[in-house]
Structure 1
């Protein structure tokens, strides 16, 4: 069959296992609580969290634990591996102008941390792999903070978009219920 690409061979990547383990260890009861949430034994968890094992940790289980712990480590890890960004959407009702401005200040602070990582990494003229990883992490956090701020600004201050369902209608004549107009 030939050589498979690395991404095809990796049934349970180390980055996903690390995100699941971080999610579990941040639960107040750790592995015991995780096993309780899932209705399995701690041994079942450990067996499925081996990167070289023959069992995999079900994504559904990971999402249950993420929700139980109130974290987003798994969502962030999957987003990064997919070349994207996970931006949690807070409930708009919980925010006022001061909170939205606070999010912007947090984003600016995060950009500062990103800038410090870049400065430290280029000091010797070469960015090593661990430095690149640190830069990428800070950049990811900065972009996520900015996206969260922008999302809140739009969700709070923009009027909801209204769409015209007639634009989505099948070709032909379709009457508008309100005015009797057609799309023909």
Structure 2
């Protein structure tokens, strides 16, 4: 395993453990409440989140904690590690034009924070690793906010396009006619 890339030998990456821990600490009852949600003891939970341990926290448990906590720390972490951005989709029945415009204003404000961060770190002519991380954080937030706005615009104002899943089935496979995919983008 000495020549393996770090991502291949790492069973539970530190970025994922960090997101899970942040999810847990957001609970009013912290680790005790999180342990209740997944039906384990606090010690079991701590053991599964040790970086040098031989146990890991099942991803399904992490998703239960995320759902119970109402935050998307884990989804954001997975998307960032995958080179993307997580955009939670709001319930369309609760969205109006004012909400869409508000999302655009939030995106513009985030772009401003990103721009300010870049200006601040390049003043000395060198970007240090921690400064790069700060820039990346602000950029990620800006991309996610812009994507959230665009997604809402398309979901609200574009007519759904219906397509038959059988058109995309592999040769020799017949999809159930009642299973149709709907796209709104």
TM-score interval, normalised by the smaller of the two chains: 0.7 to 0.9
Which position in structure 2 is the counterpart of 1:6?
Answer: 6
Which position in structure 1 is the counterpart of 2:37?
Answer: 37
Q: Structure 1 residues 169, 66: CA separation in 2 closer, same or farther (over 3 Å shift)? A: closer
Q: Structure 1 residues 169, 134: CA separation in 2 closer, same or farther (over 3 Å shift)? A: closer
The structure in which a higher percent of residues are strand is 2
Which position in structure 2 is the counterpart of 1:180?
Answer: none
Q: 1 CA distance for matches of 2:129 and 2:165?
A: 51
TM-score by length of 1: 0.88
Give the gaps of 5 or more residues in structure 2: 172-185
Q: 2 CA distance for matches of 1:7 and 1:170?
A: 32
After TM superposition, list the pairs within 5 Å mapping 1:31-180 onto structure 2.
Answer: 31-163=31-163, 167-168=167-168
Q: 1 CA distance for matches of 2:46 and 2:130?
A: 28
Query: Which digits, 9 at most, give the CA deviation of each residue in 1:79-110, with x for residues without a partner?
Result: 11111111111111111000100000000000
TM-score by length of 2: 0.88
Question: After TM superposition, what 4+ stretches of structure 1 lie above 6 angstroms from structure 2?
Answer: none
Q: CA deviation at 1:163?
A: 2.9
Over aligned residue pairs, what C-alpha RMSD do you find? Answer: 1.7
Which position in structure 1 is the counterpart of 2:182?
Answer: none
The 3-state SS of whatever aligns with 1:163 is strand
Structure number with larger C-alpha Rg: 1
Q: 1 CA distance for matches of 2:167 and 2:9?
A: 44
Give the gaps of 5 or more residues in structure 1: 172-184
Aligned residues: 171
Q: 2 CA distance for matches of 1:110 and 1:88?
A: 17
